[in-house]
Amino acid sequence: MELTVVLAVILTALVFEYINGFHDTANSIATVVGTKVLTPRQAIVLAASTNLLGAFTGLAVAKTIASGLVDKDYVTSGVLICALMGAIVWNLITWWFAMPSSSSHALVGGLCGAVLAFAVCKVDVGHVGPNGKPITDIWAALKWEEVKEKKVKTTAPAPPEIVAALGNERFLDGTHHLKIDGKEIEVVSFSGRVDLVSHTLKMEKAGIKHKVIIPMFTSPVVGFVVGFLFMGLLYVLLRSWRPVTVNRVFGKLQLVSSAYMGFSHGMNDATKCMGIITLALVAATKQGVLDNSWLHWMSTPEVPIAFVRDGVQTWNEIPIVSKVIGWLPTWLQFGHMPGPADLASPPVPWWVVVTCALTMAAGTAAGGWKIIKTMGHKMVKLQPVHGFAAETTAATVLAVTGSLGMPVSTTHAITTSIMGVGCAKRFSALKLGVVERILWAWILTVPCAGGVAFALVYLAGKAGWLTGI
């Protein structure tokens, strides 16, 4: 029965990913459609392709979702299904009313609401926690704020003596630990090249407050201000250009900015679902659900598994994009080196990356015409130069926050960038009635998605349908 529930989590996560694709398609292509640089069909092909590429390149957000927001002791397959259902219900409601809400925040709200409800159910039955004492603090299920010491790893080409000490292991791609003169050495090898890993300690702020709440407010502000300033700069630089020349040049440049936006969207949004599926697999592995079943190959440990050969301990965790690059001739790799294995977070399985990337691309290809109409036409009238400014601004915000592991809203970034660009044109160009409806959708996303997930978990728990209570 529990194995069926694990499969149900994966299926529900992929349904969410598909809905996320067509719900957030507008984020990637609303401006390029609104400016009539591309037809809707052409724009969707561009968005689906770049979403797919972006999904393969960054897993920082996936690792935040998988290990940085909630306590894994309160996560079960049933809880994750309810969390995803909360996000799906809210996404469908906002899609129906053509409101560009945040799928990222819907997912975070659903996850937090579901975990809190599970903790409430445990309190109601006097459940004993890992410390042997009855659970009384339901808020301990959420990682609200953490300040922890983190090793920051940097790499540089390894000196010849370390390469020699590594021996034939240099041809095994991965992260290696070996001892030289009694000193622990960490290196990364890829396609026969070896980099030495250096460690520096720094204090990192993590948890919901720093990874979700603060970016929730700062990223829209940054999108609006940078969009406003960038558009103002373009007005200054292009003041002597003829309008027809501006439209022709920025019509071509907007193809690049739209592709950049689609890439950043895939890098940020597709990876969230990877984190949810990884959470489910880690929980199932911990409970032994996948042992001796036909799905044993899905087992995912909490930390990467190492093996020892010739006295060298090796983590063979290589991102899928690096594996693909490794198939190319050395001269086409342009010196690419993957980062060292992250031993603090569960590894995201390669098949999860591929499945989620393809599912989001398929959802993107389905399109989301209602929201495209709201963002591309109703909020402010756009020309190619405005679309270029808005997309470049939003994509940069997403690329930076995605690399930092922050599940920032793609919707917030692009919508506020469009607002900033519109205000640079003139403040009256912004249709405040539409903006007000969008802002209300943003405010309600986390509590509403969380409320639906909380109710589903609480009812399922009282009905005896959830394991672990």
Find out whether 231 and 426 touch, Cβ atoms under 8 Å.
Answer: no
pLDDT exceeding 70 applies to what percent of the chain? 86
Cα angle for residues 361, 365, 366 (degrees, 5° grid) = 120
Would the pLDDT of 1 be above 70?
Answer: no
Each residue of 405-442: b (16+ CB within 10 Å) or e?
Answer: bbbbbbbbbbbbbbbbbbbbbeeebbeeebbeebeebb
pLDDT in tens, 174-227: 999 998 888 889 999 999 899 999 888 777 777 888 878 888 888 888 888 999
CA distance 47 to 96: 21
> Could you tell me the maximum CA-CA distance found in the chain, to the nearest angstrom?
75
Q: Which amino acid is at 53?
A: L
Q: What is the pTM of this model?
A: 0.80
- Which pLDDT band, with edges at 50, 70 and 90, does 373 fall under? low
| Token code pair at residue 339 | 């980062």
Q: How far is CA 89 from CA 36, 107, 250, 323, 335, in A?
A: 32, 11, 38, 37, 45
- Give me the residue spans of the domains in the chain: 2-145+207-304+342-462, 146-206+305-341
pLDDT in tens, 17-37: 888 887 776 666 777 777 778
Sign of the CA dihedral running 342, 71, 412, 228:
negative
